[in-house]
Amino acid sequence: MTGFSIRILFVILSFAGIAQGNAAERERVSFNEGWRFFKYESADKADSLIYDVRPEIREFDDSINADAKPTEAETVSRHQEVLKPWILPTGNSFIANPSQKATRPPGNPGSEFAFVQSEFDDSNWQNVNLPHDWAISGPFFTSEDPEVGGGMGRLPSPGVAWYRKGFNLAASDAGKQIFLDIDGAMSYSMVWLNGHLVGGWPYGYTSYRLDLTPYVKRDGLNQLAIRLDNPPNSSRWYPGGGIYRNVWLVKTQSVHVAHWGTEVSTSEVTEKRARVNLKVQIDNGSEAEQKAKIISKIYELGDDGKPKQKSVGTFRPSSVQINAGQQANVVSELTLSNPKLWGPKPTQTPHRYVIVTQIEVNGQQTDRVETIFGVRSLQFDADNGVLVNGEKIRLQGVNQHHDLGALGAAFNVRAAERQLQLLQDMGVNAIRLAHNPPAPELLDLTDKMGLLVLNESFDSWFKKKTPLDFHLIFEDWHEQDLRALVRRDRNHPSVIMWYIGNEVGEQYSGDEGAAVASALREIVREEDPLRPVTASMNWAKADFPFTAEMDVISLNYQGEGIRQLPEFEGTDRIRTPPSYPDFHKTHPDKMILSSETASAFSSRGIYLFPVTQEESSPVRDGRGGDSKTHQVSAYELYAVDFGSSADKVFRYMDMYPYVAGQFVWNGWDYLGEPTPYYSSRSSYSGMIDLAGFPKDRFYLYQSQWRPELPMVHMLPHWTWPEREGLITPVHVFTSGDEVELFLNGESLERKPMKKFEYRIRFDDVKYQPGELKAIAYKKGKLWAEDVVVTAGKPQGLSLKADRIEIGNDGNDLAFITVDVTDAERRLVPGATNHVSLSISEGGEIVATDNGDSTDFTPFPSHKRNAFSGKLLVIVKPVKGYTGDMTITANSPGLKTGKAVISVISN
């Protein structure tokens, strides 16, 4: 593909993976339970089975500005044997040039090491189930000179550890090929089976497969041993540690569909018809040539996630001869009549289909796979932005890191679903995955829920941001990682764009950096020629060669301008004027979007005075920040130095309607990167705090992103005994166009929402206890109202679960909000009471949190202080239990609170 027109109509379908079929042909078995885990006390006490040598860390400050210029990599000489040559061949199937594939050296490193031996006694190791994050339980590093700083969340994610699991094969597995699929392991994973080094993968975010067949025992115990090595200073956020995503044992016949071996695309999509193109890659793992027959049918996918009974289309059967040990591709197509289109909510419906593909050899079925997909058209237009099925969709997006708050990096479907549900409630229709491949189940959720996705690969290329980040392996692994990402995710209808990098240092290196970008873009296009490819740019300007390599112009903070206040004049930091017009003029044929905007700060329920009169202000003491308490004012007017308030970003979005939309930094608070206070544990930039409680900014975005929703929201709270008679500004967010404010029944003023303003400010209100009411109007008619009443002293605890009924498969979770309330059961907004939590038999408290970025209580603790009147408890039932679970909250001097959750069979 030599050119790329942004005005082309792009059509993608989705592949959600291979589902389990008839066990006689293919089995995909969860391999998450029954592991043994051991972590060395420190890296210097670990074994010598290293992937490669690393640079020595001389000095590194992890609190440097997030937009600091990346630096050159260091050259390292090798003085000991490393396992890299034996690991590199794992990625061979993702290398296009045969001459560049790695050759496995002779020998079997590590075979004599005790941990890989079947006879090794691991009975004193910890019992764990996967997904598992070894660091999330803490303890936090709280010293002035911590082993792990605020950038990586002050949790013990670095280190070397081992996982072991034994398994037996059934008699029915005779002759089958056996594979191990690892969805994510952080990081530098290396796998032994029965003492043989099978392979591994360095990048902790990549999903990969290992062929266990040559090393597996058909009779007797098979012993797996997996070594992980998570370096210090390897990330700018909390990476987690351990095998933190799902692991699967896959059993197939010799002739089977290859790993991620179905590729679906469409053309000529209308409401009346769509041409569906299917490519199936088939592996012949036998020692003889085989003739395979391929039969594929399309079905609608039911609400239960299963194919409906009646097929809606059948591909013409085809046959292919496959040499021993080789692959073959079969391409077919059909016209689907009256297709139900996949589209983003709320204006469209995320309909999905499934292709059922069967492989037959000599009249016997040898494989069956299900490929879930959706039919939809995409258009990227320089003037109109993104069109899905012909409808212009303004991107109302957020950035999301991969951690799940108090659960850490260990992926859980319900926890991820809860995050997405709250974001959709705010009005989000798009997610950017910052800055790495996601868990595959996350894309299953975005497909099902109707969210658009920007799928991202790397945070760094050759140049480094932290001493031991991805730059160490970029040269050896970028092709394999990038192709693995695209092959795994290319058929998800929610994925609309590929991101090959985020604020990479190659932006600064002229033609040299542009050449790297070009090479990466071509790798992606070879795997998927349909979606655009881009990288987020916080430095590259409109006329840079780096920018010219992008299919879509993706800007971080540049649209609104970076550090334009007079106080930044003369500094060496990035300073950029508002840039949308320049990029639009220079690249009139390319769509522009903002992949990161705002990076505004706040601590939920914390209001600091005085309140700035500016539309957007950097955080300083006396200007929204408090360096003693390490909290940021929730008046939602304060941002990181290179960022802007939400109000300022909205104004620029409205000034330049050709911009396709924005992705706010960020949706939820996340572990690590606690700008501006790196002595804390987690970020301040989310619209939702780490526990999942909306901040005031949530309602500011909701007022703009859900204009049809009657809503009005006031801030601050109205319990200020120390401020009686003092000016306490009241700000109102609403989807209406006018607001009247009442204090104790007296109207203070009625104000309209002015053009390019996104809040109504009542800055002269003097605090009096009682009732504060805001009534919003739209086109002169009553629209919505909000009431805040001064709370009394804490009297009790009130519990509310997100769901009153959950499943008993051992993975389902319930999230319970605990409020400190007064005698009238009103939230006491400043309450910090110490709360103890317990659960009845059959249940387990998994974690607690309160959303306070400064709270270093370990997440598994059953005791925690409330923060701004609230805390969260996460619970799950014991696997297989049915009945009720009762969660109880106690605090000295307060009335006990309880919640009951019913547990049912999945």
Fold agreement (255-374, 796-903):
yes
| Catalytic option among 360, 479, 503, 785 | 503
Determine the topology of domain 796-903 in CATH.
Immunoglobulin-like (2.60.40)
Give yes or no: 596 in active site: yes
Question: What is the per-residue pLDDT for 79?
Answer: 57
User: Tell me: the pLDDT tens digits for 51-73?
Assistant: 999 998 877 888 888 888 888 88
The one catalytic residue among 263, 360, 560, 596:
596
**Are 157 and 43 within 8 A, CB to CB?**
no
pLDDT of 631 over the 70 cut = yes
Burial label, 832 (beta-carbon count in 10 A; 0-12, 13-18, 19+): middle
Give me the pLDDT at residue 78, please.
62
Report whether CATH 2.40.50.100 matches the domain 255-374: no
Question: pLDDT grade, residue 17 (50/70/90)?
Answer: very low
Beta-carbon neighbour count of residue 21 at 10 Å? 19
Q: Tally the C-alpha atoms within 13 A of residue 781's C-alpha that lie toward its C-beta.
A: 2
Average pLDDT over residues 573-600: 97
CA distance 677 to 684: 9
Look at 74-88, 137-151, 153-167, 466-480 and tell me which has the smallest mean pLDDT: 74-88
Domain boundaries, the chain: 27-50+82-252, 255-374, 398-599+642-673+683-712, 713-789, 796-903
% of residues, the chain, pLDDT over 90: 92
CATH number of 398-599+642-673+683-712: 3.20.20.80
In this structure, of 15-29, 446-460, 678-692, the range with the lowest mean pLDDT score is: 15-29
Judge contact between 359 and 282, C-beta under 8 A. yes
d(CA 56, CA 45): 17
Q: Residue 692 and residue 874: Cα distance in Å, rounded?
A: 11
Q: Does domain 27-50+82-252 have CATH number 3.90.1150.200?
A: no
Alpha helical stretches, state H, 31-180: 84-87
Alpha-carbon gap, residue 222 to 470, rounded angstroms: 33
> Is the distance from CB of 870 to CB of 794 less than 8 angstroms?
no
pLDDT band, very low/low/confident/very high, at 13 (cuts 50, 70, 90): very low
**Among candidates 319, 314, 317, 331, which has minimal Cα distance to 277?**
331
Average pLDDT over residues 810-833: 97
Average model confidence (pLDDT) across the chain: 95
- Based on the residue annotation, tell me whether 479 is a catalytic residue of this protein: no
Topology, domain 713-789: Immunoglobulin-like (2.60.40)
Summarised one tens digit per residue, pLDDT across range 129-188 is: 999 999 999 999 999 899 999 999 999 999 999 999 999 999 999 999 999 999 999 999
pLDDT reading at 6 higher than 60: no
pLDDT confidence of 3, banded at 50, 70, 90? very low
CA 535 – CA 514 distance, rounded (Å): 11
Query: If DSSP codes are grouped into helix, strand and coil, which group holds residue 243?
Result: coil
Residue 719: pLDDT band with limits 50, 70, 90: very high
Instruction: Express each pLDDT in 366-383 by its tens digit.
Output: 999 999 999 999 999 999
Nearest-angstrom CA–CA distance, 548 and 583: 11
**Are 261 and 322 within 8 A, CB to CB?**
no
- Omega of the bond leading into 346 within 30 degrees of 0 (cis): yes
3-state secondary structure of 111: coil
d(CA 367, CA 36): 33
> In 3-state terms, what secondary structure has residue 691?
coil
**What number of CA atoms fall less than 13 Å from residue 667's CA on the CB side?**
32
**By the 8 A CB rule, do 160 and 39 touch?**
yes
Pick from 484, 489, 485, 459: nearest CA to 474: 459
Say which range, 133-142, 297-306, 427-436, 894-903, has the weakest mean pLDDT.
297-306
Distances (CA, A) of 194 to 66, 184, 225, 680, 878: 45, 22, 8, 44, 33
